[in-house]
A and B are shown apart, each in its own frame.
Chain A
Amino acid sequence: MNEKKKWKLTGFLVQWEMILIYLLLLINILLMLARPNLYFASGTITSIIQSGMDLCPLVLGMALVMMMGEIDVSCAANMIFCSMTTGLLMDRGVPAVVCVLAGIATGVLLGMFNGVLVGYVGMPSVIVTISNSLLYRGVVKIILDVNVLRNFPDFYTKLAWNQIAGIPLAMIIFLLMAAVFVVILQKTGFGRKLYIIGNNAVTAEYSGINVRKTKLAVYLIMGVMCGIASIFFVGRMGGGVSSTMGVGYEMNAIAICALGGISTSGGKGKMYGPIISTFIMAFLIYTLGLMGVDANAKKTLTGLVLLIAVLIPNINKDLFASVRRKFRKI
């Protein structure tokens, strides 16, 4: 920590969040050079950002979960479950507000189930969420079968596709939510608890933190975010939901968080990272699409980016350590 304070400017410039911003700028410059006409056309950047916003609430929730050293693989299934609740209630002619709230409440309920199993029963989160993912999606399959729900409130699609003065509405709401999460994680006692639990759950327990309760609370927040994500997702999909939609979204959310510098073993990283890397992912995927790269080849590059992103801090750490050692010898 002391070294960081000494090298204030350089330390700031090489920290992970800044590297992410450079990466974002780099992708932008590449895109600008490759397709100048398109890049400066109105609406391109807007639509790029909009394309990346459908899973942003999941990323925010996942960052908290991963900070604790846990993981939630069931969030995509949870999201579809919430969408289904809203859709089914809308079909019955229930007022829209009640439907949306019911959707979010479903998310909270499913999140609570995860949280109780992880926190209170003490099952490993990977197992719980993998099998709950099967369970939730399975229930959606039972109820929906092959039907598609098309009856959703109007503001769903407006949220995903409209813009205010050229700024996508989805991004504004995402940034507002992100600000709340930054405050939660970086500035409140609750956020600091997550760091401690992520570093060492046993120590946290002995230092008087109620680990079980905190875990449950984080999974509840994740549930709320799944409910909100269902709004973004259904809107992005043009107001329709079927049981096979959104497969693999959980992996994308985890990938974005890892790219954002949140360690999967917990306790490391900041909230800004995932927020920036949400945009990086959107730009990257859109750029590759423009270059004529196929959707599946895009996956390969996404995987490479993820791996390299995870490797850079490791290499950095080793590099810094060896340099420091050399200086000490001198």
Chain B
Amino acid sequence: MRKITGNKNFGLIVGLIVLMILAAVITPDLYSVGSLMNMLRNNCVFVFLAVGEMIVIISGGIDISIACIMALSGCVCSLLQFNHPQVPVFLWLIVAVLIGMVCGMFNGFVVGTLKVTPMIATLGTNYIFRGLAFIISSGAWWYPHQYQMTFQNFSIGKTAGIYNIIWFAGLILILAAVFLNYTTPGRRIYAVGTNKESAKVSGIRESRVMLMSYTICGAICGLSGMLYVANFAVGNFAIGDGFEMTAIAICILGGVSIIGGQGKVGGVFIAILMMSIITSFISMLPGLSVWQDAIKGAIIIIAVGINIWTARSTRRQDLKERGALL
């Protein structure tokens, strides 16, 4: 029993179950297959952003520019598919990932090699990428009729009865989990996030690990930009404004330590589910849609508070068992 309650995700899972029951009682419509699928489809973009953000936060940094990388790649893809419809669409997928990688590399270079504080560095690049998105798109909007069906199919096409974007999200989640848990570069990210000095002593180059984590984050966000515009078939330079805060919030809720070195894909996944249920649940209740931000904020504060409190009490218990606190 103690093993179950001691699990870090225990509180999260309980919260998720309570929310689901609450939603089932108040808005039973939420549990039709169609609306569940739509809920997942529309919140999938946060899977990408949160996983990318998680990798960066674990390495001890933070990335505020993710939403702008998303907007940049979304704009470029919309522009290209509209101007050059003859080029095969999967090429745009590669373009999107490449754009994200270049942006992420720039972030990683500024943070890792030039040693600028992550918060400020990505705040600066945040402005830069958003402005670039505006310059490239020249402020234009793209509307649903301007998107090719083959392009949109990347997100809203169905494979085996499930939207493609959900497959992509699932793939990213699994890849991230494998990468972080079972590969050497993944473990290095944890090592650098936990303690830079000891990582350095054990022969890990911090600047390279930072560069890598930011590049991966950028690539995932670039991908998300393309899938986002394909999903909603609306694109402009301002898409995803404020998504970075939601992504950070999801990471925190999912038990990723903001100081770095801690966090699991599983926790983030549960947090995404929780956030998306809250969002759809609230939007289905009449007159409650204005409450969304306040409720999200309150939930994060409470979740982090509980997290810190349990961490402190387990530490105290450990000390007591060892007889240090007698």
Q: Which residues of A contact B (CB under 8 A)?
A: 71, 117, 121-124, 126-128, 130-139, 141-142, 145, 247, 251, 254-255, 258, 263-265, 294, 296-304, 306-307, 310-311, 314
> CB of B221 within 8 A of chain A?
no
Q: Is A123 a contact of B305 with CB atoms below 8 Å?
A: yes
CB distance from A304 to the nearest CB of B (A): 6
A296 and B252 alpha carbons, distance in the complex (Å): 30
**CB atoms of B124 and A307 under 8 A apart:** yes
Q: Does B204 contact A (CB under 8 A)?
A: no
The interface on chain B, measured as residues whose beta carbon lies within 8 A of the other chain's beta carbons, has a size of 43
Cα distance A303–B65 in the bound complex, in angstroms: 11
Query: Does A310 contact B115, Cβ atoms closer than 8 Å?
Result: no
Q: Collect the chain B residues with CB atoms within 8 Å of residue A296's CB.
A: 130-131, 134-135, 139, 237
User: Are A135 and B294 interface neighbours, CB within 8 A?
Assistant: yes
CA distance A311 to B298 in the complex (A): 37
Given A251-B126, A299-B131, A299-B134; 20 other pairs, CB 8 A cutoff: A126-B62, A130-B249, A131-B301, A132-B301, A133-B297, A134-B249, A134-B294, A136-B297, A142-B290, A255-B120, A258-B120, A294-B139, A296-B139, A299-B127, A300-B128, A300-B132, A300-B135, A303-B124, A307-B128, A311-B114
A296-B134, A306-B120, A311-B116 as given contacts; A132 in contact with B128, CB under 8 Å: no
CB pair B131 A141 closer than 8 Å: no
Residues on A with C-beta less than 8 A from B126 are 251, 303
**Which A residue's beta carbon lies closest to that of B128?**
A303
Chain A nearest CB from B171 CB (Å) reads 29
Indicate whether A127 sits within 8 Å of B134 (C-beta atoms), given known contacts A134-B293, A142-B291, A258-B120: no
Residues on B with beta carbons closer than 8 Å to the beta carbon of A251:
123, 126
Smallest distance from the beta carbon of B200 to chain A beta carbons, Å? 18
* Interface assignment of B213: CB less than 8 Å from any CB of chain A: no
Residues of chain A contacted by B62 (CB below 8 angstroms)? 126
- The reply to whether B248 and A130 form a contact with Cβ atoms under 8 Å apart is yes
Chain B residues, CB < 8 A from A131: 249, 252, 296-298, 300-301, 304
CB distance from B240 to the nearest CB of A (A): 14
Min distance, Cβ A52 to any Cβ of chain B, angstroms? 17
Contact check, A127 vs B125: say whether CB atoms are below 8 A apart: no
Q: Does B308 contact A (CB under 8 A)?
A: yes
Pairs A–B under 8 Å by Cβ, sample size 27: A121-B308, A123-B305, A124-B258, A130-B245, A131-B297, A135-B301, A138-B291, A138-B296, A138-B297, A141-B294, A142-B291, A255-B123, A255-B124, A258-B120, A258-B123, A296-B135, A296-B139, A296-B237, A300-B131, A300-B132, A304-B127, A306-B127, A307-B128, A310-B124, A311-B110, A311-B116, A314-B115
